[in-house]
Chains A and B, each alone.
Chain A
């Protein structure tokens, strides 16, 4: 069993409440932090090697040290709880079950950054979690853990929760800031970066839910201790949300460095492929990262086992590797149509493109149409080439990384499964059969 830093107490009955959370040692770390200097806290986070858990993996301590601190201008910590990357459901799981861990992390982070008011931006669909957070915040205010002079430290801190209303793009940090200002979620052109001009033009740090939660064990145990967990530059633990055709879908906290094979097949984690089927492919870090076929996800090009870490998953670049991303681990069995799964992803990006940049707005639509044409049995070989060309003209040519995120799944599917596209084009009569996917349980005869 690997160490659990975030989920250690997740199954303690009543942990959602402040009283039980405190019985388990909750808010002791905040107390400790309030006795430290803000620089010392940032230093511990730097030493921990924590990398942003929202997908990009940028070192959190470094991000914090970049925050501008002009005299007399308020600054903010904003928690990104927009969690909308397909395959990712760890933040919802955590916030719903142990909301005070996020509040404690927000208080420590805000203190370290010198922010006196901070926001949690949660996607609107998770409205019930929004209310759970609001109730937890209310409890914390009543107990003097938020508000004026928290824990008698002299530090004033207000925490607010804010909801979105259905837009994946609002997970992109500058779109999130726009949305928090009451506008459409159009990403901003950078620079200026949020660390200089963010929310209401004030210096702002945006961090993922899990990153902020991880600050609590880091301050509790010390950055050096935290950095001993994991492997190489992939320090600490990571929440992986595993889904698809596995026996045990769910959220797992792993020590970074677990072999992918162990993660998929051991009973401690995914428990193997459902119904005795073979593994076909994995999307290891949320829909945006490249899909890899079985042999490449389990092993590196040199035959060594691939590990669940930032470095190992990206080993080989996009030719043979992928990315840890958000930790949304999507497993597909031998019966899955890669082309059709890809179409659902491309439809997603087309639907979610904010429309500011032509390559993204138009390109995602063209790709969706081409995939639809192929799946409809009217594709040609040149359509596959055209798909490739379109994706290559989106990547790197847009305001925000949603364009790249839309291109990578297409590129990787063609790179590793071109034969499947060609089969669909050459033998369209076989497409229907190949579409086999899991049927809803208890399917009535007319749907079988």
Chain B
């Protein structure tokens, strides 16, 4: 992020953040931190840079370190740039029993990247996740807010094609559509 570009939420996001803060008692606005970081991640290209975290700190009237220590604790927050579609494949026991390991290998091969990496065109980042409470429909993966369940390799191909065809800006867990809602 260039230093001269001002970091600021869109009007919709700003209004949403104000609404979120009101969910907690007065003086306890720090409680809003995690939801607000999700909104920030959605607003600023799918990841949290230090300036973005500082901005969130200023909105919540807390110190930057309080934001950094939280952002670095939770796996859903990306502290480095990511692709437009972050693919999170569940790898825990129940999904492993149903072939999650093959699924990861297949995606690595198909996208020509290793787990944790981003494709050269900036389209996909491949991550693994721990149990996403979808074990009965394993194997599964998540992209943005969407759960893709009962996966087959054909389905995976279709999903990747669809992402390539439709996704123009980074998708986050807290979707842009929900920020506007």
Chain A interfacial positions (CB closer than 8 Å to B): 74, 83-89, 91-92, 117, 123-128, 131, 160, 162-168, 179-185, 200, 241-245, 249-251, 283, 287, 328, 330, 332, 336, 340-341, 344-345, 348, 351-352, 437-444, 446-447
Most chain A beta carbons < 10 A, residue from B35, B73, B151: B73
Produce 1/0 per residue, B82-124, CB < 8 A to A. 0000001001111011110111011001000000000000000
The answer for the CA separation of A441 and B139 in the assembled complex, in Å, is 10
Interface residues of B (CB under 8 A from A): 23-25, 28, 30-35, 37-38, 60, 62, 66, 69-70, 73-77, 88, 91-94, 96-99, 101-103, 105-106, 109, 129-139, 142, 145-147, 151-154, 173-175, 178, 181
Q: Are A125 and B142 in contact (CB under 8 A)?
A: yes
**In the complex, are the beta carbons of A330 and B135 less than 8 A apart?**
yes
Q: How far is the CB of A78 from chain B (nearest CB, A)?
A: 12
Report whether B32 and A243 are in contact in the complex, using a CB–CB cutoff of 8 Å.
Answer: no
> How many whole Å from B179's CB to the nearest CB in chain A?
11
With A438-B98, A440-B102 as given contacts, are A348 and B131 in contact (CB-CB < 8 Å)? yes
Give the top 4 A-B pairs by smallest Cβ distance, nearest first. A165-B74, A166-B75, A182-B33, A166-B76
A352 and B33 CA atoms in complex are apart in Å by 21
Q: Once the chains bind, are B70 and A345 in contact (CB under 8 Å)?
A: no
Q: Tell me, rounded to whole Å, the shortest Cβ–Cβ distance linking A251 to chain B.
A: 7
CB of B102 within 8 A of CB of A86, answer no
Looking at chain A's contact residues, is the secondary structure mostly helix, strand, loop, or mixed? mixed
B72 closest partner in A (C-beta):
A184
Contacts A164-B74, A341-B96, A348-B93 given; indicate if A440 touches B135 (C-beta within 8 A). Answer: no
B133 A92 Cβ-Cβ under 8 A = yes
Q: A86-B93, A87-B131, A344-B91 are in contact. List 12 more A-B contacts (CB 8 A).
A: A84-B130, A84-B131, A117-B25, A125-B142, A127-B173, A131-B145, A160-B24, A242-B136, A348-B93, A439-B102, A440-B102, A440-B139
Q: Which residue of the partner chain A has the closest CB to B29?
A: A182
A448 nearest CB neighbor, chain B only: B102
Residues of B within 8 Å of A85, CB to CB, are 131
A-chain residues with CB within 8 Å of residue B73 when the two chains form the complex? 167, 184-185
CB distance from A17 to the nearest CB of B (A): 16
B70 near A348: Cβ-Cβ < 8 Å:
no
What residues of chain A lie closer than 8 Å to B147, measured between beta carbons? 128
Distance, CA A6 to CA B107, complexed state (A)? 39
Most buried by B among A89, A126, A440, A444: A440
What B residues does A442 contact at CB under 8 A? 152-154
A341 to B85, CA, bound (A): 29
On chain A, the residues within 8 Å of B62 by CB distance are: 182
Q: How far is the CA of A180 from the CA of B28 in the complex (A)?
A: 10
CB distance from B113 to the nearest CB of A (A): 17
A162 touches B31 (CB 8 A): yes
A127–B39 Cα distance when bound, in Å, is 11
Most buried by A among B96, B138, B175: B96
Min C-beta distance of B163 to chain A, whole Å: 17
Cβ–Cβ < 8 Å partners of B106 in chain A = 440, 444, 447
Residues of A within 8 A of B135 (CB): 86-89, 241, 243-244, 249, 328, 330
Known: A84-B130, A131-B178. A163 touches B152 (CB 8 A): no
Q: Which residue of A lies closest to B30 (CB)?
A: A182
CB distance from A339 to the nearest CB of B (A): 12
The reply to whether B133 and A168 contact each other, CB–CB distance below 8 Å, is: no
Q: A165 contacts B151, CB within 8 Å?
A: no
With A182-B30, A344-B91, A437-B99 already in contact, the answer to whether A443 and B35 are too (CB < 8 A) is no
Which one of B97, B103, B130, B133 contacts A89 once the chains associate, using CB atoms below 8 Å? Answer: B133
Flag if B70 contacts A127 (CB, 8 Å).
no
Give Cα A249 to B153, complex, Å.
20
Q: Is there contact, CB below 8 Å, between B34 and A124?
A: yes
Q: By the criterion CB–CB under 8 Å, are B94 and A444 in contact?
A: no
CA distance A383 to B49 in the complex (A): 43
Q: Is the CB of B133 within 8 A of A164?
A: no
The one of A86, A167, A179, A332 in contact with B131, judged by C-beta atoms closer than 8 angstroms, is A86
A249, B99: Cβ atoms under 8 Å?
no
Report yes or no: A243 in contact with B138, Cβ–Cβ below 8 A. yes
Q: How far is the CA of A146 from the CA of B137 in the complex (A)?
A: 34
Q: State whether A84 and B133 are in contact (beta carbons under 8 Å apart), knowing that A125-B76, A244-B97 are contacts in the complex.
A: yes
- Chain B residues, CB < 8 A from A183: 30, 66, 69-70
Whether B93 lies near A341 (C-beta < 8 A) is: yes
Q: Is the CB of B74 within 8 A of A124?
A: yes
Kindly list chain B residues whose C-beta atoms are within 8 Å of the C-beta of A91: 133
CB nearest neighbor in B for A168: B130
B33: chain A residues at CB < 8 Å are: 182
In the complex, A92 Cα to B145 Cα: how many Å?
A: 14
CB distance from A427 to the nearest CB of B (A): 22
Residues of B within 8 A of A341 (CB): 93, 96-97
Closest to B131 in A: A86
Cβ 8 A contact of B173, one of A125, A180, A447: A125
Tell me whether A437 and B34 are in contact (CB under 8 A).
no
B136 touches A200 (CB 8 A): no
Q: In the assembled complex, how far is the CB of residue B95 from the closest CB belonging to chain A, in whole angstroms?
A: 9
The answer on a CB contact under 8 Å between B97 and A332 is: yes
Chain A nearest Cβ from B73, distance in angstroms: 4
Q: Can you list 6 A-B contacts (CB < 8 A)?
A: A84-B130, A84-B133, A182-B33, A185-B73, A243-B135, A440-B98
A440 with B75: CB separation less than 8 A: no
Q: Which residues of B contact A179 (CB under 8 A)?
A: 34
CB pair B32–A182 under 8 Å, yes or no, is yes
Complex: chain A residue closest to B142, CB-CB: A125
| Nearest Cβ on chain B to A264's Cβ, whole angstroms | 14
